[in-house]
Chain A
Amino acid sequence: MTDVKTDSAARAVSSSPDPSLPSSDGPMAGSTADTPKIACRSVWKVYGPDADKRFAELHSQLHSQLHPQLHPQLHPQQFDSEQLRQTLLEEGFIVAAADVSFDVQPGEIFIIMGLSGSGKSTMVRCLSRLVEPTGGEVLLDGEDFLAANDAELINIRRHRMGMVFQNFGLMPHLTVLENISFPLKLQGMPTKQRNACAREVLELVGLQGRENSFPRQLSGGQQQRVGIARSLAVEPDVWLLDEPFSALDPLIRRQMQDEFLRLQTILNKTIVFITHDFLEALRLADRIAIMKDGLLVQLGTPTELVLNPANDYVAEFTKDVPRDRVITVGELVDPLHSQTLPNTPSIADSTTLNNVMPLFESHPNGVQVTRDEQIIGVVTPAMVIQALAQHQS
Chain B
Amino acid sequence: MQSGDKDRVGLHSVWVWSVVLIGSAVAIWLAPSVAWLAKPPVDWVLPIADVTNQITEVIVNVAKPAFRFIGSVFAIPMEALQGLLQLLPWPATIALFAALAWVAAGWKLMVFTVLALFYMVLTGYWSPSMNTLGTVLISIPLALLLGFGLAVVTYQSPRVNQVVQPLLDFMQTVPTFAYLIPIMLLFGFGPVVGVVASAIYACPPMVRNMIVGLQQVPEEVIESGRMSGATPLQLFWQVRIPNAMSTIMVGVNQATMAALSMVIIAAIIGSSADIGWEVLNQMRKARFGESLIAGLVIALFAMVLDRISLGFTDRGRAVERQHAPTITRVTPWLVAAIVVMGSFVFAPQLTWLSVWPEGWVFYPADVINDALKQLTADYAAVMKSIKNTALFYYLLPIRIGFSKAISPFSWGFALETWMVQGYALVCALLCVVATWRYSWKVGVGIVITATLLWFGMTGIPWIVFIAVVSTLAWQVAGWRVGITSVLAWMFMVLTGIWQQAMVSVAMCLAAVLVCLLFGGALGIWASRNDRVSSIIRPINDTLQSMPLFVILIPFLMFFQIGEFTSFLAIIAYAIVPCIRYTEHGLRNVPETTVEAAVSIGCTPRQLLWNVKLPLALPQIMLGLNQTVMFALAMLVITALVGSKGLGQSVYIALSNSDAGQGLVAGFSMAFIAIVADRVLQGWSLRRQRELGLVQ
Residues on A lying within 8 angstroms of B by beta carbon are 125, 128, 130, 154-155, 157-159, 161-163, 165-175, 182-183, 185-187, 212, 214, 216, 227, 230-231, 234, 240
The reply to whether A173 and B319 contact each other, CB–CB distance below 8 Å, is yes
**Interface of A, helix, strand, loop or mixed by DSSP:** mixed
Selected contact of A130 from candidates B223, B229, B238, CB within 8 Å: B223
Does B242 have its Cβ within 8 Å of any Cβ on chain A?
yes
When the two chains form their complex, are residues A173 and B242 in contact, meaning their CB atoms are under 8 A apart? yes
Is B546 on the interface with A (CB-CB < 8 A)? Answer: no
What residues of chain B lie closer than 8 Å to A175, measured between beta carbons?
A: 323
Q: Is the CB of B224 within 8 A of A173?
A: no
- Which residues B579-599 have CB closer than 8 A to chain A? none
CB neighbours (8 Å) of B226 from chain A are 130, 157
Q: Are A186 and B230 in contact (CB under 8 A)?
A: yes
Does B220 contact A166, Cβ atoms closer than 8 Å?
Answer: yes
Chain A residues near B223: list those with CB within 8 A: 125, 130, 163, 165, 169
- The residue that B315 contacts in the complex, of A162, A166, A172, A234, with Cβ under 8 A, is A172
A167-B220, A173-B245, A174-B242 known; 18 other A-B pairs, CB under 8 Å?
Answer: A130-B223, A130-B227, A154-B231, A157-B228, A158-B228, A162-B227, A163-B223, A165-B220, A169-B218, A169-B223, A171-B239, A172-B243, A172-B315, A173-B318, A186-B230, A227-B224, A231-B227, A234-B229
The 8 closest A-B pairs by CB, nearest first: A169-B224, A158-B229, A183-B228, A169-B220, A163-B227, A157-B229, A173-B242, A165-B220
Rounded to whole Å, the gap between the CB of B407 and the closest CB of chain A is: 64
Tell me the smallest distance from the CB of B214 to a CB of chain A, in Å.
15
Q: Does B72 contact A (CB under 8 A)?
A: no
Collect the chain B residues with CB atoms within 8 Å of residue A125's CB: 223
Number of A-B contacts (CB under 8 A): 75
What A residues does B243 contact at CB under 8 A? 171-173
B221 at the interface (CB under 8 A from A): yes
A to B CB contacts below 8 Å, 13 in the list: A157-B226, A157-B228, A157-B229, A158-B229, A163-B227, A169-B218, A169-B224, A171-B225, A171-B242, A186-B231, A186-B238, A214-B319, A230-B224
* Interface class of chain B by DSSP: helix
Whether a CB of chain A sits under 8 angstroms from the CB of B234 is: yes
Q: Give CA–CA (A162, B223) in the complex, Å.
A: 12
Residue in B229, B245, B319 with the greatest tally of chain A CB atoms within 10 Å: B229
Chain B proximity of A239: nearest CB distance (Å)? 11
Chain B 234-263 near chain A by CB (<8 Å), digits 1 or 0: 100011001101000000000000000000
- Determine the distance from Cα of A185 to Cα of B231 in the docked complex, in whole angstroms: 12
- Give chain B's interface residues, CB within 8 Å of chain A: 218, 220-221, 223-231, 234, 238-239, 242-243, 245, 315-316, 318-319, 322-323
Q: How far is the CA of A173 from the CA of B226 in the complex (A)?
A: 17
Given A158-B229, A230-B228 in contact, is the A167-B323 Cβ separation under 8 Å?
Answer: no
In angstroms, Cα B218 to Cα A172, docked, is 11
Q: Which residues of B contact A172 (CB under 8 A)?
A: 243, 315, 319
A123 to B402 CA separation, bound complex (whole angstroms)? 70
**Minimum Cβ distance to chain A for residue B341 (Å):** 34
Q: In the complex, A231→B315 CA distance in Å? A: 25
Q: Which residues of B contact A171 (CB under 8 A)?
A: 221, 225, 239, 242-243
CB neighbours (8 Å) of A240 from chain B are 227
Q: Chain A contacts of B238 at CB under 8 A? A: 182, 185-186
Give the residue name and chain of the B residue nearest to A187 (CB): B229
Nearest CB of chain B from residue A267's CB, rounded to whole Å: 18
Provide the residues of chain A in CB contact with B245, threshold 8 Å.
Answer: 173
Bound complex: CA A130 to CA B230 (Å): 12
User: How far is it, in angstroms, between the C-alpha of A173 and the C-alpha of B225 when the chains are bound?
Assistant: 13
Which residues does chain A contribute within 8 Å of B229, judged by CB atoms?
Answer: 154-155, 157-159, 183, 186-187, 234
**CB atoms of B323 and A157 under 8 A apart:** no
Q: How far is the CB of A236 from chain B (nearest CB, A)?
A: 10
Q: Among A154, A169, A171, A212, find the residue whose CB has the most chain B CB atoms closer than 10 A.
A: A169
